[in-house]
Amino acid sequence: MICELHTEGLESKLGRTVHDYFVEGYRRTGRTTLRDFSGTAVQSSEDLSAAFQLFVRKGTVTRVEYRCSPCVTLVALCEHVAQHLVGQPVEIVRALKPELLATWHPEVPQSHQNRSSLVIRAVQCAFDQFQKQEPT
């Protein structure tokens, strides 16, 4: 079931490029920084950072917010993941893998593929925070 939900609508997203998602992400996050954000930042070995917050209602992601270092590829990948998660069951976060982002954006050069891992680690950190806050 998760795999079906995870890939649903993928075909329509493949026509959009890193540039498209960067423009949307930049418009959304503007010049805000990680200091202006309450999500827990995850850092890469290249000193890039990303942080996500998941807003969930009745088990469905209703909104995703993020902040990240000013890197075109990183902003684009964060934006794509944020858009993809809205409307999905929150558990879908665990199914996200860096390799999936690479298939969504084959135009990303090999030297920037590590941004995918950073994005996935950051969104999964947000999922972990969500689970800790959820009443048992």
What are the pLDDT digits (tens) for 43-58? 998 999 999 999 999 9
Instruction: Reply yes or no on whether the pLDDT at 27 is more than 50.
Output: yes
pLDDT of res. 6: 37
CA-atom Rg of the chain in angstroms:
14
Average pLDDT, the chain: 82
The letter for the amino acid at 108 is V
Q: pLDDT-derived band of residue 30, with 50, 70 and 90 as boundaries?
A: low
The residue written with tokens 């858009």 in the block is: 83
Spell out where 41-126 has E strands.
Answer: 42-43, 49-57, 60-68
Q: Which pLDDT does position 38 carry in this prediction? A: 67
Q: How confident is the model at residue 24 (pLDDT cuts 50, 70, 90)?
A: confident
pTM attached to this predicted model? 0.80
Position 35 confidence tier, pLDDT thresholds 50, 70, 90: low
Count of CA atoms in the C-beta half-sphere (13 A) of 102: 13
Q: What is the mean pLDDT of residues 110-119?
A: 94
Amino acid at 94: R
Class of the CATH domain delimited by 2-133: alpha beta
